Structure 1
Amino acid sequence: MSRINSGEPVILTGNSHKELAEKVATRLGLKLGAASVYHKTNRETMVDIADSVRGKDVYIIQTGTKDVNNNIMELLIMAYACKTSSARSIVGVIPYLPYSKQCKMRKRGCIVSKLVAKMMCRSGLTHVITMDLHQKEIQGFFDCPVDNLRASPFLLQYIQENIPNFKSAVIVAKDPASAKKATSYAERLRLGIAVIHGEQKDSESDLVDGRNSPPPGNSRQRITEVGVGMPPLTAKEKPPINVVGDVAGRIAIMVDDMVDDVNSFVAAAEALKERGAYRIYVLACHGLLSLDAPRLIEESCIDEVVVTNTVPHDMQKLQCHKIKTVDIAPLIAEAIRRIHNNESMSYLFANVTLED
């Protein structure tokens, strides 16, 4: 890739994923900016930027990992340091946005992803580049432009080049919420789809939180009489796990935005195997692979888990040979180049549907 002409940008990175940052900088023909990010003995985050950023465009590459809270603080402090050093613009390149799964109100909590978005904007970020948000509506939480890139072209290419006889495969949504993504993949590969309905594990939204509890025994009579005649609430009961669609004698390819807790994927794979699928693949953008995910994958009937390198997972790959990685550094580098040169970003979304 040719060097950027309109004044070279400054590429900085924290401690979350230096390997990805180096790959992006190499694609751009640049060197990483000199910045030291470390922790004091009391675990406070310290940032020391050695290069001048005055009047320059700064790109901070920082993703979310298992050390998510430190990742966020490093990004915020680096952005604020650049802001107070008179940087012209500060773009946060956040391949996996931390707390993106907490984008809905649950029980008596809060929408944490909105809080994180507000903090990032207040710290000095003028633009955000991210990938495969858990919900695309999260973009509305930011007070700055957000480019939500898609890894699907890279994963589609992997299917076409690395899965033998993929024409006989079926795209599988492990739950109804993933049906739109599965449909998007199926349409571009011209394959059929199947949807898995029913779960063995209760979702977080179904947990009892006390909001439907009856009034205490010492309530006033006039208050308890208000509810007279109201129909009783019917408790949710998830049906047994079931596969809607034909997977017998075919390759099953499950698609999702992230692979974190793999219990649901393992349960779905077992259901697919029982119904005749002879090979099972799992494809996702973010490979968080928390807890004992590598062991569970290794012991399961899943044949391969394909994720991108938005999140570092080298240790997990050493524990499980079924985990494969797709490099998305070229996509991030091209996004940075286009933003820096004020070019259109539409090319990066040319083959991506809204449902993706």
Structure 2
Amino acid sequence: MRGAIVFSGSSHPALVDGICDRLGSKRGSASLGKFANGETSVSIHTSIRDKDVFIVQSGCEKINDAVMELLIMISACKGGSARSITAVMPYFPYSRQSKKKQHRGAITARMVANLLHIAGVNHVITIDLHASQMQGFFKCPVDNLVAEPLLARWIRVNVPNWKQAVVVSKNPGGTKRVTSLADALKLSFGIITTDRRRAATAVHWNESAMFEQLRLDGTYETRGLVEAALDADVHITPINSPSLNPRTDIGKPRLRSRAQSNPLSRRANGESQASPLSKSMRASSIVEVEKPETTVEPRKENTEPGDDREESESADEYNDERARDVIHGRLVQGHIVDEDHPSPAMSAVSTSTWRNRPPSDGDNDVPDHMMSSFMSTASSLHQNHHSEHALGGTVDAAASSEEEEEDLKNPDLETMVTLVGNVKDRPVFIVDDMIDKSGSWIAAAETVVKRGGATQVYCMATHGLFGGDCLEEMSECECIDKIVVTNAFPIPEYKQAQAKNNKLVVIGVDTLLAEAIRRNHHGESMSQLFMHYD
């Protein structure tokens, strides 16, 4: 390739050798080193005057050294009168910090883009940016290549029954990436969501424990309501309970009870009478008391013969077959547990608060349906206290993958997981742009296998960062069959050795980048690199 020179940074020399081998050229000669105080030193030994220079430098474990080395190499080539300088960055550093998550946070990805512009870069080639909107950070053209055709080709060749598979996103943020691969392969797709704000539930908890969880002193009006309900042997159900059906429960008399406001004013004034629930608690503590033996037939108006047909058609709207594809589960420390597994939050309370309390007889235990009503009250208190985000909105709207990983590892927090999509007796491809921590991947794999009934699980991503013991933990998971990544991000040999049972598969992007460099040098279109070929 005349008139072009490819230089290699210290982050991924093996990738550069593969690129130059496919281009039929040798990489440029340059010396990379450091001074005694840690400063980076770069010397270009090949003439680059009036030539197109391509510097291949990907993010790696020593991310800061790689960025600084790339900036110095760009500046050195600019000073050497290069015609154009293209930074080939398969993994763009700091791509996850592409938005402001706190008032005093930094948009680091934009800062790196500005540094590249100041250094003198003319073009950027990268693969699968964490957020495609990041292309607006640059003041030069950006070719954001995709590894989706490479992953799709591997699926067609190595998965025997791939036509019956389902592509699943392990979080709502990756839905666009998953649907794109599913459309290319003409497969179905599914979504996994986790809810970290849902309160844990307990089974057969005594009445005093329930009031302690709600931080009540036993003198509230709610206690009288509970005692009256127990004496009358009626059924108490929360309004937001799924057991309530507005069609089947028509005509049943219900008693609504609301607690009064201003719970703290009476205590401040020293009044001895009972303090009602707070406003935030009152909003979610509405209960409905229904007597199963008393029913009232709904009043029937004079209707035409065609009205019955309209009512039946309207009722059929609630009987969607797709509702069967929604599966729920419980996650404790990132692993699927059975429904009778004790909640970690309840266990912590029972071992600390009730250690000195005398055991209660079974007659005073609060029924499960009553417990769910009052637990929803405690959940509302927790949400009102923690739902506000620094930049507005709710916690879920601003939750990141890092926060999700922390929640999954928290031993005192129970996470509810929901799988939308039918994966029973089918292989599953869990797809994302990068694999850094193992928590969410293992949780998603166990969900589709233990709850959804999937036969095989393939965890697929473009960038295999594998922070900490991620690769070892994923390879030890029995629900994961293969871990498929590309070599866009360099995986050290000691980390590859952590993979067991040959579960790790690395797909090369050498040909993709070599073709992108060739087309960029000759001024050809890049659109062919985004297409799928059988």
TM-score range relative to shorter protein: 0.7 to 0.9
Q: After superposing the two structures, state which structure 1 stretch, 326-335 or 268-277, moved more.
A: 268-277
Give distance in 1, aligned partners of 2:179 and 2:190.
9
The letter for the 2-side match of 1:335 is A
8 A Cα contact 2:149 2:530, kept in partner: no
8 A Cα contact 1:280 1:304, kept in partner: yes
Q: Which residue of 2 aligns with 1:55?
A: 50
Q: CA deviation at 1:262?
A: 1.8
8 A Cα contact 1:13 1:32, kept in partner: yes
Q: Which residue of 2 aligns with 1:220?
A: none
- Provide structure 1 residue ranges, at least 5 long, that are not aligned to the other structure: 203-228
Q: Which residue of 1 aligns with 2:74?
A: 79
Q: CA deviation at 1:247?
A: 1.2
Give the alignment partner of residue 198 of structure 1, picking from 194, 200, 207. 194
Q: Which residue of 2 aligns with 1:162?
A: 158
Give distance in 2, aligned partners of 1:249 and 1:350.
30
Q: What RMSD, in angstroms, separates the aligned Cα atoms of the two structures?
A: 2.1
Q: CA deviation at 1:350?
A: 3.7
C-alpha distance 200-308 of structure 1, shift in aligned 2 (>3 A) = farther
Give distance in 2, aligned partners of 1:201 and 1:297.
26
The letter for the 2-side match of 1:102 is Q
Aligned ranges 1:207-246 → 2 under 5 Å: 234=384, 235-236=386-387, 240-246=416-422
Give distance in 2, aligned partners of 1:186 and 1:287.
21
Give distance in 2, aligned partners of 1:289 and 1:72.
20
Q: Which residue of 1 aligns with 2:444?
A: 268
The answer to whether 1:127 aligns with 2:123 is yes
Give the alignment partner of residue 289 of structure 1, picking from 466, 473, 486. 466
Give distance in 2, aligned partners of 1:316 and 1:85.
38
Give distance in 2, aligned partners of 1:287 and 1:198.
23
Give distance in 2, aligned partners of 1:304 and 1:351.
22
Q: CA deviation at 1:11?
A: 0.6
Q: Which residue of 2 aligns with 1:335?
A: 516
Q: Secondary structure at the match of 2:54?
A: strand
Q: Secondary structure at the match of 1:158?
A: helix
Give distance in 1, aligned partners of 2:136 and 2:111.
12
8 A Cα contact 2:20 2:27, kept in partner: yes
Q: Secondary structure at the match of 1:256?
A: strand
The answer to whether 1:306 aligns with 2:302 is no
Q: CA deviation at 1:349?
A: 2.4
Give distance in 1, aligned partners of 2:455 and 2:532.
30
8 A Cα contact 1:297 1:322, kept in partner: no
Q: Secondary structure at the match of 1:274?
A: helix
Larger Rg: 2
Q: Secondary structure at the match of 1:167?
A: helix
1:115-146 CA-to-partner distances (Å, cap 9, x unmatched) read: 00000111111000000000011011011100
- Provide structure 2 residue ranges, at least 5 long, that are not aligned to the other structure: 199-278, 284-380, 388-394, 397-414
Q: CA deviation at 1:85?
A: 1.1
1:30-76 CA-to-partner distances (Å, cap 9, x unmatched) read: 00100111112211100011111111110000000111000100100
The letter for the 1-side match of 2:57 is Q
Give distance in 1, aligned partners of 2:443 and 2:61.
24
Q: Which residue of 1 aligns with 2:256?
A: none
1:207-240 CA-to-partner distances (Å, cap 9, x unmatched) read: xxxxxxxxxxxxxxxxxxxxxx9x9983447761
The letter for the 1-side match of 2:525 is S
Give distance in 1, aligned partners of 2:510 and 2:94.
22
Give the alignment partner of residue 147 of structure 2, picking from 132, 151, 154. 151
Q: Secondary structure at the match of 1:281?
A: strand
Q: Secondary structure at the match of 1:241?
A: strand
Q: Which residue of 1 aligns with 2:425?
A: 249
The letter for the 2-side match of 1:305 is I
C-alpha distance 201-157 of structure 1, shift in aligned 2 (>3 A) = farther
Report the TM-score, using the length of structure 1 for normalisation: 0.86
Q: CA deviation at 1:100?
A: 0.3
Q: Which residue of 1 aligns with 2:497?
A: 318
The letter for the 2-side match of 1:343 is E
C-alpha distance 330-117 of structure 1, shift in aligned 2 (>3 A) = same
Q: Which residue of 1 aligns with 2:134?
A: 138
8 A Cα contact 2:149 2:531, kept in partner: no
The letter for the 1-side match of 2:62 is D
Give the alignment partner of residue 26 of structure 1, picking from 21, 42, 45. 21
Q: Which residue of 2 aligns with 1:9?
A: 4
Q: Secondary structure at the match of 1:240?
A: strand
Q: CA deviation at 1:315?
A: 2.8
The letter for the 1-side match of 2:417 is I
Give distance in 1, aligned partners of 2:90 and 2:66.
12
Count of paired positions = 321
Give distance in 2, aligned partners of 1:61 and 1:347.
22
Q: Which residue of 1 aligns with 2:409?
A: none
Q: Which residue of 1 aligns with 2:455?
A: 278
Q: CA deviation at 1:82?
A: 0.4
Q: Secondary structure at the match of 1:298?
A: helix
Give distance in 1, aligned partners of 2:195 and 2:472.
21
Give distance in 2, aligned partners of 1:50 and 1:143.
29
Q: Which residue of 1 aligns with 2:175?
A: 179
Report the TM-score, using the length of structure 2 for normalisation: 0.58
